[in-house]
Chain A
Amino acid sequence: MLGALTLIFTCQLIGETTTRALDLPLPGPVAGMVLLFIYLAVRGGISADMSRVADGLLSHLALLFVPAGVGVMLHFRLLGEEWLPIAVALIASTALTIAVTAWVMHLLTRKSGDQPDG
Chain B
Amino acid sequence: MDELQEVWVYLNTTPLLHLTLTLLAFQGANWLFRKCGRTPLLNPVMVSVVVLVAFLLITGTSYGAYFEGAQFVHFLLGPATVCLAIPLYRQFEKVRKSALAIMASLFVGSLTAIASAIGIAMALGASQATLSSLAPKSVTAPVAMGVTEQLGGLPSLTAVLVILTGILGAMIGPVLLTKLGIRNEAARGFAIGTASHGIGTARALQLGEVSGAFAGLAMGLNALATAILLPLLWGLIF
Binding site for B on A (CB under 8 A): 5, 8-9, 11-12, 15-16, 25-30, 32-37, 40-41, 46, 50-51, 53-55, 57-59, 61-75, 78-79, 82, 84-86, 88-106, 108-110, 112, 114-118
CA distance A90 to B196 in the complex (A): 11
The distance from the CB of A80 to the nearest CB of chain B, in whole angstroms, is 12
B157 near A78 (CB under 8 angstroms)?
A: yes
A26 near B109 (CB under 8 angstroms)?
A: no
Is chain A's interface secondary structure helix, strand, loop, or mixed overall?
helix
The distance from the CB of A24 to the nearest CB of chain B, in whole angstroms, is 9
* A12-B82 contact in complex given A25-B228, A29-B77, A67-B22, C-beta closer than 8 Å: yes
A116 near B185 (CB under 8 angstroms)?
A: yes
Query: Please, which residues of chain A bring their CB within 8 A of the CB of B146?
Result: 25
B143 near A27 (CB under 8 angstroms)?
A: yes
B186 within 8 A of A: yes
Query: Please, which residues of chain A bring their CB within 8 A of the CB of B46?
Result: 69
Q: Smallest CB-CB separation from B79: which chain A residue?
A: A8
A29 near B82 (CB under 8 angstroms)?
A: yes
* A85-B121 contact in complex given A66-B70, A94-B195, A108-B100, C-beta closer than 8 Å: yes
How many inter-chain residue pairs (CB < 8 Å) link A and B?
A: 336
The distance from the CB of A75 to the nearest CB of chain B, in whole angstroms, is 5
Binding site for A on B (CB under 8 A): 22-23, 25-26, 44-46, 48-49, 52-53, 56-57, 63, 66-67, 70-71, 73-74, 76-90, 94, 97-98, 100-102, 104-106, 108-109, 112-113, 116-117, 120-121, 124-127, 130, 134, 137-138, 140-143, 146-147, 154, 156-157, 159-161, 163-170, 172-173, 176-177, 180, 182-188, 190-192, 194-196, 198-199, 201-203, 205, 208, 210-212, 216, 218-220, 223-224, 227-228
* A26-B176 contact in complex given A69-B48, A102-B191, C-beta closer than 8 Å: no
* A46-B90 contact in complex given A65-B77, A67-B70, C-beta closer than 8 Å: yes
CA distance A68 to B187 in the complex (A): 28
CA distance A118 to B39 in the complex (A): 22
6 tightest Cβ-Cβ pairs between the two chains A and B: A118-B185, A25-B227, A101-B109, A102-B191, A67-B70, A29-B81
CA distance A69 to B166 in the complex (A): 10
A62 near B44 (CB under 8 angstroms)?
A: yes
A96 near B45 (CB under 8 angstroms)?
A: no
